[in-house]
Amino acid sequence: MFKKILVANRGEIALRVIRAAHELGVQAVAVYSEADRLAPHVLAADEAYLIGPPPSAQSYLRGDVLIDVAKRCGAEAIHPGYGFLSERAPFIQAVRDAGLVFIGPSPEAVTAMGDKTAARTRVIAAGVPVVPGTKDALKDAAEARKVAGEVGYPVLLKAAAGGGGKGMRVVRGEDEIERAFEAAGNEAQAAFGDNSVYIEKFLDGPRHIEIQLLADRHGNTLHLGERECSIQRRHQKLVEEAPSAVLTPEERAAMGATAVAAAKAVSYEGAGTVEFLYHEGQFFFLEMNTRIQVEHPVTELVTGIDLVQWQIRVAAGEALPWTQEDVRFTGHAIECRITSEDPFNSFLPSTGRITGLTVPTGPGVRWDGGIATGVEVGLFYDPMLAKLIVHAPTRIEAVERMKRALLELRVEGVDTAVPFHLRVMDEPDFRAGRLDIKYLEKHEAELLAPSDDEELIRAAALAAALLEQERRHTKSVPRVQAGTAAAGASRWRDRGGWRRG
């Protein structure tokens, strides 16, 4: 096992990795930009090093600086988290060339699966079903028009070099193809430095279901079940759960075996995820994410397997101690991404200082957060502040537990997506498990439209926050009794003197 690792990331995932390392008896080194001097991951680490100004291009994306810090502090390995440099094959190779261990897959595996067209070719050869489309990048808009005509509209133009919804356009008719091809290519160039685009048949209203994988260097590759990730906005996931409400045990086994075959096709090592589209009883390979996923906690809760610890163990040369038959699934888990965005104003980013934070607790509640009171939320990084995850014996119990946890959660100083998540938990189709990737589009009116009542609630919350500030600074004001957020409960449950008005 390693004695010391460097965590080349920030926020909640950096803190998550640091905690996993500490539980293994491994020292963890943090890095931070000038904007993150007082971030929780910096304070939690054994050592921390400033690596540059706030823009990520001058700090967290400086692979040379990260490697230099790792060598200077005596770290033996680098954990990339997700995002930033986690799927950059040149960085992985540079880590290896420096005599360090990269906690993740090989640069060859990342290259093979990072290029979406190359990945399609490989998995087709391995017998994995894919959505009809091209194996190679399109040469120009004329070829895109020709292929789209053969595949049949609607089609999806996708960046070959990346994911996360960047460089992606739905084309519903021939008159849109040229403009969409240019727009997708330009966005792909800006996001990934590569304007290559390929084409797939657009499936109308499939579910987005992914399979978690774990593989070691001794030839063992296991799947750890599926996650339902169909609630999305512009291809960005908002709510995830495990297991899916629709897969049968037979379908789970088939998708798992297919994901394992895809991973073995590139000699994959570590934690990874194969994403599928599930439509009318059929599933199709979408892409492979060669890193830990944001939504990994729901898999951890239903399997009892610590994925981040096993990333570190596998990188240190350990073999997985289970067979596929040993993997068991218990209960249901749901994750809500807590972002600094205003869901009732087109999810516009919200910035400011966190002036108050009440984290929900209790049975089956997990908080993976990267914020604390006093932390400044800016525009330099992804707006995700934290993840709220719950686990319960059944899906409906998990939904109710998530509602309770969301009501207890209080983040003051910035707008968050919490009100949106509360609406989702009460929406009938969600509660019944009737989901697909058009869920948000179908339910936009009830989930995203501001209402008079919502404005009253937000105004009341502001008034309550001001009252709380006054209480803290005025000793003569009596302490508010049970039922307030300070006592760990929701103000909406208060039966004392506080009322909405």
Distance, CA of 131 to chain centre: 23
Decide: helix, strand or coil at residue 430.
Answer: helix
Phi-psi sector, 305: left (phi>0), alpha (psi -120 to 50), beta: beta
For the chain, how far is it from start to end, CA to CA, in angstroms?
59
Q: Which of helix, strand or coil describes residue 209?
A: strand
Kindly state the tokens that stand for 450: 């501001």
Question: Quick check: is 291 catalytic?
Answer: yes
267, 242 in Cβ contact below 8 A?
Answer: no
Report CA 1 to chain centroid distance, whole Å.
Answer: 28
Distance CA 375, CA 47 (A): 20
Contacts of residue 329, Cβ cutoff 8 Å, sequence gap at least 6: 225, 242, 243, 302, 303
Residue-by-residue DSSP string for 2-54: -SEEEE---HHHHHHHHHHHHHTT-EEEEEEEGGGTT-HHHHHSSEEEEEESS
* DSSP secondary structure letter of residue 126: T
Q: Using CA atoms, how far apart are residues 324 and 157, in angstroms rounded to an integer?
A: 36
Strands 207-215 and 221-233: antiparallel
Q: Which of 291, 313, 404, 491 is the catalytic position?
A: 291
Active-site residues, by number, are: 291
